[in-house]
Structure 1
Amino acid sequence: MSATRDTSQRRLQISELVRQHGSVQVVSLAKRFGVSMQTVRKDLRYLSERGIMARAYGGAIDSKVVGETATEAPYEAKRTSHLDEKRRIGLRAAAMVNPGDTIVIDSGTTGIQLAEALPNIEVTVVTNDFGVLSALAPKSNVNILMLGGELRRKSMSFYGGLTVDALNALHVDKLFLGVDGFDLERGITTHFEPEAMLNRKMVENSSTVIAITDSSKFGKVCLHRIISVAELDMLITDEHAPEDVVQAARQLGVEVQQA
């Protein structure tokens, strides 16, 4: 088989894999086809330029899915959307924090509600979110480690290489992970690539990973994937969460609590 035909066949198979699974990863494709990751990236670039898929961190996602992805709401709108549900979720999450714990509160409006509900006890909180910092600052017994970096005003949180590097020396008991998109097949996703990179580092350095999200996020898919649903230890959501999603998550080994 000529190199040109081999390339054409591989790209055709990659297109079919994206159609079947919704997304693909560079590493797994390189192993599957026995080629270098550089070759796979060229294939994905070729296919994305023709509208077959859209590039994402570490791979690609079906272009049809991208067309259906959730758009990021303005920060003030997110602050007030589903506020009652977020408050209940925040209260339930705060009840899981014990004196002496070291936790990460991820950026997001549900994380701010967790920070508001957190009692003034001796815990260490790591965060990159300005709203979380503001909520915790008056609580004198809470030790706060603020991750620096570049401020993204659209979410009032910090991202970048400095933010990721700051996590390298840390290991925490619990991560409370905010969610932009939650889909059983495509996993936990977000709008912003640096956020996905930071979240993966948070997951890597945490003993327990707890997603905190209201039910409006279920079935939504954003461009950048963080982790699969099966990689969660727990999901805290509201009482309106679809029963099929709750049961499927439990079957994947995720403990689900509804506030």
Structure 2
Amino acid sequence: MLKTKRVRQIKEYVFEHQTVSLDELVEVFHVSKNTIRRDIQELVDLGEIKKVYGGVAVNHTTLESFHDRQTRNQYEKELIGKLAAGYVDDGDIIYIDSGTTTLEMIECLKTKDVTIITNNLDVIITALSYENLNVISTGGVLERKTKSFASFKNMDLIKNYNINKAFMASTGISISNGVTNSSPLESELKKTVVDRSSEVYLLVDHYKFDKYALMTYCGLDEIDYLITDKIPSEEYQEYAKENNIQLVFRESEVKVTS
């Protein structure tokens, strides 16, 4: 693997996990510890990450912007957004979570009559072009890096709505840690949305599997549909079967029931 590609992948891995050990990076990228140290130093010098005892962590003073996340793995995001939009019907009241993958749904919804509840600024702006999309904002304080609104008052607003379908994003998912997010305030909003929704759809590309962030906002077993770009491992397939989760990937879907 070229060094530039490896360094980029190391950065993405650290950002997804928030904190990782050097030994873990050695195992994942199949290189020596000295090589990992040199690669890490490049990212540290750029201010992307910082060294911690035994490993490295995200430098939150340079938290990855919404734009940077949006341009990464763009093909996969568009595919997942298209698959998710296929589950939206005219008249639905849906929640579209703040995320670069969930944003891709809007273009695919432009011919449908739908009410969208969201906390994401880009979702609101993109939906402006389509008069048939009725948009309700949760309001609150704008987090510029993620282009999302968050406030403890959002929780009371969400509790008043009956949401048919919630389309949720995540920084990382795992069977042990569930569905996770880096922002404590946003995580509380996500948790409330999951509780208030009849059906919960989780949109994640395959890079998000077996990764986790600071906060767990729901268990993986609380998800009804898991939409991704490729079929997950047998472990996740078995978990889906045991918990009646429908796996959706690429242009096909697998209904997995117990």
Alignment partner, residue 204 of structure 1: 195
SS in 2 for 1:109: coil
Q: 1:98 aligned to 2:89?
A: yes
Give the distance between the partners of 1:258 and 1:117, measured in 2 at CA: 17
Deviation at 1:243, TM superposition (A): 4.0
Q: 1:169 aligned to 2:160?
A: yes
- Relative distance call for 1:67 and 1:199 in structure 2 (3 A) is farther
- Calculate the aligned-residue CA RMSD, in Å: 2.1
Deviation at 1:119, TM superposition (A): 2.8
Contact 1:102 1:174 in 2 (8 A): yes
Deviation at 1:68, TM superposition (A): 7.8
Mapping of 1:234-253 within 5 angstroms? 234-239=225-230, 241-253=232-244
Deviation at 1:252, TM superposition (A): 2.2
Contact 1:236 1:258 in 2 (8 A): yes
Name the stretch that deviates more: 116-125 or 211-220.
116-125
Give the distance between the partners of 2:122 and 2:217, measured in 1 at CA: 22
Q: 1:180 aligned to 2:171?
A: yes
Percent identity between the aligned chains?
A: 30
Alignment partner, residue 114 of structure 1: 105
TM-score by structure 2 length? 0.71
Deviation at 1:221, TM superposition (A): 1.0
- Relative distance call for 1:204 and 1:249 in structure 2 (3 A) is same
**Partner amino acid for 1:106?**
D
SS in 1 for 2:91: coil
The unaligned stretches of length 5 or more in structure 2 are 1-52, 251-258
Alignment partner, residue 227 of structure 1: 218
Deviation at 1:159, TM superposition (A): 0.3
Alignment partner, residue 74 of structure 1: 65
The unaligned stretches of length 5 or more in structure 1 are 1-63
Contact 2:110 2:132 in 1 (8 A): no
Count of equivalent residues:
195
Alignment partner, residue 150 of structure 1: 141
SS in 1 for 2:95: strand
TM-score by structure 1 length? 0.71
Contact 1:69 1:223 in 2 (8 A): no
- Relative distance call for 1:196 and 1:225 in structure 2 (3 A) is same
Give the distance between the partners of 1:206 and 1:152, measured in 2 at CA: 24
Give the distance between the partners of 1:185 and 1:85, measured in 2 at CA: 25
2:128 maps to which of 109, 128, 137: 137
